[in-house]
Amino acid sequence: MTDPSTPEAPETPDVPGTAEPAAGPDASFASDNVAGVAPEILESLARIGGGTALPYGDDSVTARLSDVVRAEFGARAEVLPVFNGTGANVVALQALLPRWGAAICTRQAHINTDEGAAPERLGSLKLLPRPTADGKLTVDDVEAERRATGFVHAAQPLAVSLTESTEVGTVYTPAEIAAVAERAHAAGMGVHVDGARLANAAAALGVGLGELTAAAGVDAVSLGGTKNGAMAAEAVVVIDPDRVAGVDYIRKYSMQLASKQRYVSAQLLELFGTDLWRRNAERANAQAARLGRRLAEIDGIRLSRPTEVNAVFPEIDAAVLAELRRRYLVHTWDAAADGTPVARLMCSFDTRDEQIDELVETARRASAARLAPRS
């Protein structure tokens, strides 16, 4: 879906706050993965320091994280810290599915397009991708796929995987998730949420993480931390262990169990045991809204969809986009009906106002040059 290729660009000046000088196109808006680590997260790791502690999660930090997760997701919820989002998704889906099962997802879903076929290769999972205009699965999608139930020649649809927020920057409401979960459960399916950007969705909706998941009938969550300020910390949250069996064993053989787990847990504890997750997500969302508003004021640029979270999808005249790419790493996500490229620009918790101002001014100059009369 994405096209990471860009024309070669001259070196850009050093940007205050970056770890090192930029050596090529400025990647500030290429992804929320380019952001640094939140200072509070680094401080939490420093507080742990050295010393000894039992490995593999039998430490006091992970125990405190477990208390936080149960308070948010329910009294029986279990948390299993992992290294990355792909690992969280593969572990969670394996635990939800028998060997003959398949997971319904959208065609744009990260598990379908951007995980190097890890669910299929490492998890031996069959994915059933559905085309969508807005990146969201519906009850009708569940109904369409469940027709294969009982047909011995087809992989059995036994799980639904929802991405919150979606790859196209849209958000499921709690009611929308609950409707899909209710229909999925009635058909004997489990429900998984890929929550790499769950914090952004919850912040946009003004709800809690549990309200978007456990209260809506979700069985397992891939709880994202890296895109919202953590370093190498995600988690699988099992909301009802009776519905999701063996996840601790699956985490181990999937190579997602950390020996010195307290350093992974500490990041998640700082993020979700305080309001840091919400503050960071609100900041990223607000900066994306600001960027979208400013870009939409420029001739030759219009937004392809409202900015709901921290992703902006502007339709940019090809000449203007080419000029932007002389300085910035900009991914082409799609094309509008008239063929105009649709770019994706991402903001993060540490996106600064001056970075937005500089990108907008670059786009404004490029648009003015395109419209200037030729002598």
> What is the CATH number for 298?
3.90.1150.10
Looking up residue 71, the CATH number of its domain turns out to be 3.40.640.10
Q: Which domain holds residue 325?
A: 32-36+277-370
Q: Mean pLDDT, the chain, as a whole number?
A: 92
Going by C-alpha positions, the residue among 263, 179, 173 that lies closest to residue 225 is 263
**252 and 281 in a common domain:** no
Average pLDDT over residues 133-154: 95
Residue 205 included in any domain: yes
DSSP 108: T
Does the pLDDT of residue 30 top 70, yes or no? yes
For 227, which DSSP code?
Answer: G
Instruction: List, in sequence order, every residue forming a beta bridge with 345; answer none if it has no partner.
Output: 312
Nearest to 201 by CA among 240, 249, 236, 162: 162
Question: How confident is residue 169, by pLDDT bands cut at 50, 70 and 90?
Answer: very high
Looking at residue 300, what is its pLDDT? 85
Q: 14 pLDDT exceeds 90?
A: no
| Integer CA distances (angstroms), 208 to 173, 199, 203, 212, in order | 12, 9, 8, 7
Q: Which of 29, 23, 17 lies closest to 321, judged by CA?
A: 29
Residues 339 and 250 both lie in one domain: no
Calpha distance 33→254 (Å, rounded): 23
Q: Cα separations (Å) of 337 from 6, 315, 332, 341, 342?
A: 22, 10, 15, 10, 10
269 and 357 within one domain = no
DSSP 131: -
151 and 261 inside one domain: yes
Q: How far is CA 48 from CA 51, 65, 136, 270, 369, in A?
A: 8, 14, 40, 12, 54
Coil, strand or helix at 362 = helix
pTM: 0.91
| Whether residue 109 is found in the same domain as residue 208 | yes
Number of separate domains in the chain: 2
User: What residues contact 120, with CB distance under 8 A and at least 6 apart?
Assistant: 126, 127
Do 318 and 365 share a domain, yes or no?
A: yes
Please report which residue ranges of the chain form alpha helices under DSSP H.
Answer: 39-48, 60-73, 85-96, 110-113, 118-121, 139-145, 174-186, 198-205, 209-212, 247-253, 262-272, 276-296, 318-324, 353-371
Domain end residue (candidates: 274, 302, 323): 274
Q: Are 53 and 59 in contact (CB under 8 A)?
A: yes
What pLDDT does residue 375 have? 53
CA-closest candidate to residue 235, choices 274, 203, 196, 190? 196
Distances (CA, A) of 214 to 10, 69, 158, 240, 277: 48, 11, 19, 9, 18
Q: What is the predicted pLDDT for the residue at 295?
A: 97
- The last residue of a domain, from among 239, 274, 309: 274
| Domain match, 116 and 213 both | yes
343 lies in some domain: yes
Q: Which residue has the higher pLDDT, 264 or 10?
A: 264
β-strand partners of 302: 315
Q: Which of 1, 279, 259 is nearest to 114 (CA)?
A: 1
- 189-230 residue pLDDT tens: 999 999 999 999 999 999 999 999 999 999 999 999 999 999
Are 344 and 315 spatial neighbours (Cβ–Cβ below 8 Å)? no
Q: Of 158, 161, 156, 159, which Cα lies nearest the Cα of 112?
A: 161
Residues 348 and 325 in one domain: yes
CB count within 10 Å of CB 111 equals 27
The pLDDT, as a whole number, for residue 24 is 81
Separation between Cα atoms, residue 193 and residue 93, nearest integer Å: 10
27 within domain boundaries: no
In a domain, 10, yes or no: no
Q: What is the pLDDT of residue 20?
A: 47
Residue position matching structure tokens 């600064």: 352
- Is residue 267 in a domain? yes
Alpha carbon distances (Å) from 232 to 100, 129, 267, 268: 32, 28, 8, 10
Question: Both 183 and 72 in a single domain?
Answer: yes
| Tokens encoding 191 | 């429900």
Q: Rounded to whole angstroms, how far apart are CA atoms 280 and 351?
A: 10
Within a domain: residue 8?
Answer: no
- 313 and 290 share one domain: yes
Lowest mean pLDDT among 140-144, 180-184, 242-246: 242-246
Could you tell me the two tokens for 299? 């001739």
Domain contains 17: no
Query: Mind listing the pLDDT tens digit for each residue in 254-293?
Result: 999 999 999 999 999 999 999 999 999 999 999 999 999 9
Which pLDDT belongs to residue 329?
96
**Last residue of one domain, picked from the residues 220, 245, 274:** 274
- The answer to whether residue 5 sits within a structural domain is no
Same domain, 43 and 155: yes
324 and 286 within one domain: yes
Q: Which of 96, 127, 268, 115 is nearest to 198 (CA)?
A: 268
